[in-house]
Structure 1
Amino acid sequence: MDYIIKPMQTVDEIDGKGYVHYKSWQETYAGLIDAEYLKNMTEEKCKAIAHKWRDNILVAKDGDKVIGFVGYGKYRDDTLSACGEVYAIYVLADYYGQKVGYELMNAAFEKLATYKHIAVWVLKGNERAIKFYEGYGFRFDGTEQEIKLGTSNTELRMIYERG
């Protein structure tokens, strides 16, 4: 399959990112987070989020269709200095196993080249994501945080250290 990875720029790409966000949440988090919260995470809400936060987003496209995205930047708080972060990475299930996530991660790492460490937070129980991050070289550092997704959920921090 031929796909490209590029900075998110056009309205169609922003809307496509919103759709991938919505669809990926439905595919990934059913059974992991509160069903009512997930039901209320509509495509319209995800598109509104995509239009609000447009910086540091790369999209993977198959033709004109956005099939995945990654958001990245400086680590969100001061607990880790000089650390980058992958804020989110999602790929449509139809494209699993085709290295789209791997190539999105590579592209984000290029953008985060000045950081020795890169962090990612993963929902406890999201085994597919954990396996992906571990395969890429991330390791758990023992840090957890509680987040509210309708009910309380635990996120685990993973860190990648450049050689």
Structure 2
Amino acid sequence: MNIVIKKMETDAEIKGKAYVHWKSWQEAYSGIVDQRYLDSLTLDKCEKIAFRRTDNVIIAKDGDSVIGFVGFGKYRNDELENAGEVFAIYILSQYYGKGIGYRLMQTALSELADHSKIAVWVLKENTKAIRFYERCGYRFDGREQIIELGSPVVAARMVLER
């Protein structure tokens, strides 16, 4: 296994990112997000999203296959001063526990070096993701929001301060 971490560049890589997005949602959010919502999130929808959002995406590849990605940028509102945000980080489940998510996160954090805080929103029931973010140095800051994913779910903000 020779994992390469790189910027997403080609149409094939964008399609690979879309597959990881779709497959990861099916795996990670089963039992957390309303199954009807997960069923409505098709690979085609994920491809349309992926082709619209190509900036600031780093992928992990195993050979020619995209097996993970992280999307990041400036925090989406002015609530946190000088903050960046990790919008999404997903890895195919068969690659869990191999340090790939950590490598993706560290690459994103390097790209966000000008920001003193980095935020991420996580579903409160997603305990695996919470443990991952905690290992990366993120801590809950008390901010929560209810989002609609077929039914209401609670997302909590975690922040890494540097």
What is the TM-score with the length of structure 1 in the denominator?
0.98
Gaps of 5+ in 1: none
Which whole-Å CA distance do the structure 1 matches of 2:33 and 2:91 have between them?
19
Count, aligned residues:
162
- Paired amino acid for 1:143: R
Distance 2:81 2:138 in 1: 18
Residue 129 of structure 1, CA deviation? 0.1
CA deviation map 1:115-148 (0-9, x unaligned): 1110000001100000000011100000001111
In structure 1, the residue matched to 2:32 is: 32
Distance in 1 between residues matched to 2:156 and 2:120, nearest whole Å: 8
Q: Deviations over 1:51-89 (max 9, x none)?
A: 111110000001100000000000001111210000000
Query: In the alignment, what sits opposite 1:133?
Result: 133
- 1:91 and 2:88 correspond: no
CA distance in structure 1 between the partners assigned to 2:24 and 2:126 by the alignment:
12
TM-score between both structures, scaled by the size of structure 2: 0.99
CA distance, structure 2, for counterparts of residue 95 and residue 35 of structure 1:
24
User: What SS does the corresponding residue of 1:77 show, helix, strand or coil?
Assistant: coil
1:5-154 matches, cutoff 5 A: 5-154=5-154
Matched residue type, 1:22: W
Q: Pairwise CA RMSD of aligned residues?
A: 0.6
Per the alignment, in what secondary structure is the counterpart of residue 12 of structure 1? helix
